[in-house]
Amino acid sequence: MQLRYNYRMYPDAQQRVALAHAFGCARVVFNDALRTRQEAREQGLPYISDGDLSKQVITRAKATPERAWLGQVSAVILQQALADLNMAYRNFFASMVGIRKGPKVASPKFRSKKDARQAVRFTKNARFTVTESGRLRLPKIGDVPVRWSRSLPSEPSSVTVIKDSAGRYFASFVVDAADRPLPETDSEIGIDLGLTHFAVTSDGRKVSNPRILRRAARKLRKANKALSRKQNASANRAKAKLKVAKAYAKMTDTRRDWAHKLSTTLIRENQTVYVEDLAVSGLARTKLATSVHDAGWSQFTAMLEYKAARYGRHFARIDRWFPSSKLCSTCGTIATSMPLASRSWMCGCGVTHDRDINAAINILAAGQAERRNDCGARPGPGHVPAPREEAVTRRKSHVRQAGMDVNAPGLRST
């Protein structure tokens, strides 16, 4: 499994200037390559291959007076900028024909020097190293001090230098991390995610929602007001803008740290974890949008998923249309309606349910049934109707079904 390990960097003034120059060179190469392909498409010319594009926007560009300064940075970061563009095009083409799952991917956009986040990537070809004193040696930048909060599990294959909106620098290493299975346990758990309580488990535990954005709202409001009063393009406005960015960065780091601790605890204590597949993008368009974004459900479930894979646990998502709240976990009866304001309800069998705990119990039962049942029948504690069709395995060939050539530009692997 490949993981990313992030560490804080502390470059000096001269190194910050060199990094700013590297960010700009990578951005210019990306934009030149994107502009070249767009112009070729508008003129009806064939799709420019990756090799020809590299010769045009890097090799030949360095020989011109307008782009001669591209030779002052490592050639690897320029090639990686082109690799990012090629990957963006491949994702766009794959999304168009239905190969890539998830939301539709738009065509590549030009990069701006005003973006809050700037980054360059060094691969092994750049020969970056970690010195004996613990500094990160980057070509044509120098030895940058790094705060090593933990040791790397293996030799990194690449490092990405990132500058965020708060002006902080990070070194992000990609390493091959071996799986570390934990001792097996018989505990299985279902988790119902919510807003009043962030997580309610099938064993009755309720984890309070930290509401990190709500707690920081007063400080953020004050910082944004101060920013709005500053004159445009002034030094004081730049300082106020940085203060706002730092406040948001602190809030983001707090939420991530909290989600890491909770997800690690749940993975260590349980052999199997089931959660409901929530439509976060849909909920974010309702009047609860601020609270939904503040909760960070997607980030939390993503942490559960990769930690389960690394530590030998099982993780699964339950269909979002499964009536976990309206289904009685005792008799299997489904209530006709369940308003959001109803936090407890009584079933016809005489059992009174806590809405969230009952949902967590049903999520656990649904997950256990899906692991045993490959036919797609609706799981539940009561009588279950038989599936209409038998489970079969069909070979999928989305590219050929779409009538496209698998060797078309943008679909070839590099």
The answer on pLDDT for 402 being more than 60 is no
277 with 319: CB under 8 angstroms?
A: yes
Record the tokens describing residue 379, joined without a space. Answer: 């799981």
Q: What is the number of other CB atoms lying within 10 angstroms of the CB of residue 375?
A: 10
At residue 380, the pLDDT reads 43
Q: Residue range 241-268: average pLDDT?
A: 96
Residue 111: Cβ within 10 Å count: 19
272 close to 314: Cβ distance less than 8 angstroms:
yes
> Can you say whether residue 262 is alpha, beta or left, with left for phi > 0 and alpha for psi between -120 and 50 degrees?
alpha
Question: What pLDDT, on the 0 to 100 scale, is given for residue 212?
Answer: 95
Alpha carbon 218 to its chain centroid, in Å, reads 28
Both tokens of 106, joined, read 């738009």
Least confident of 26-40, 80-94, 150-164, 277-291: 277-291
Question: At 339, is the pLDDT very low, low, confident or very high (cuts 50, 70, 90)?
Answer: confident
Rounded Cα–Cα distance for residues 155 and 149 (Å): 16
**Range scoring the smallest mean pLDDT among 50-54, 145-149, 257-261, 382-386:** 382-386
CA terminus-to-terminus distance, the chain: 21
pLDDT tens per residue, range 210-249: 999 999 999 999 999 999 999 998 999 999 999 999 999 9
Return the pLDDT at 349: 87
Q: pLDDT at residue 391 above 50? A: no
Average pLDDT for 33-41: 95
CB 198 within 8 A of CB 295: yes
* CA pair distance 252, 246, nearest whole angstrom: 10
Query: For the chain, how big is the Rg over CA atoms in Å?
Result: 26
Q: pLDDT value at position 84?
A: 96
Q: What is the mean pLDDT of residues 253-258?
A: 96
* HEC secondary structure over the chain: CEEEEEEEECCCHHHHHHHHHHHHHHHHHHHHHHHHHHHHHHCCCCCCCHHHHHHHHHHHHHCCHHHHHHHHCCHHHHHHHHHHHHHHHHHHHHHHHCCCCCCCCCCCCCCCCCCCCEEEEEEHHHCCEECCCCEEEECCCEEEEEECCCCCCCCCCEEEEEECCCCCEEEEEEEECCCCCCCCCCCEEEEEECCCEEEEECCCCEEECCCHHHHHHHHHHHHHHHHHCCCCCCHHHHHHHHHHHHHHHHHHHHHHHHHHHHHHHHHHHCCEEEEECCCHHHHCCCCCHHHHHHHCHHHHHHHHHHHHHHCCCEEEEECCCCCCCCECCCCCCECCCCCCCCCEEECCCCCEEEHHHHHHHHHHHHHHHHHHCCCCCCCCCCCCCCCCCCCCCCCCCHHHHCCCCCCCCCCCCC
Residue 188 predicted with pLDDT over 60: yes
Both tokens of residue 277? 């597949």
> Please, what is the average pLDDT of the chain?
88
Predicted local confidence at residue 335, as pLDDT: 86
Under a CB-based contact definition with an 8 Å cutoff, are residues 282 and 103 in contact? Answer: no
CA distances from 382 to 215, 332, 334 (A): 43, 4, 10
pLDDT at 179: 86
Check residues 388 and 202 and name the one with the higher pLDDT.
Answer: 202
Query: pLDDT at position 209, please?
Result: 95
pLDDT tens per residue, range 360-389: 999 999 999 888 775 444 444 444 343 333
Please state the separation of Cα 121 from the chain's center in Å.
18
Domains of the chain, residue spans: 2-176, 189-209+244-401
> Which of 22-31, 153-162, 207-216, 396-405 comes out lowest in average pLDDT?
396-405
Tokens of 35: 């502009």
Q: Above pLDDT 90, what percent of the chain? A: 71
Using CB atoms within 10 Å of the CB of residue 118, give its burial: 0 to 12 exposed, 13 to 18 middle, 19+ buried: buried
Question: What does the pLDDT read at residue 56?
Answer: 94
Question: Would you tell me how many other CB atoms lie within 10 Å of the CB of residue 53?
Answer: 21
Inter-residue contact 295 to 196 (CB < 8 Å): no
Q: How confident is the model at residue 144 (pLDDT cuts 50, 70, 90)?
A: very high
Rounded to whole angstroms, how far apart are CA atoms 34 and 406? 23
Residues noted as catalytic: 192, 276, 356
Residue 42: pLDDT band with limits 50, 70, 90: very high
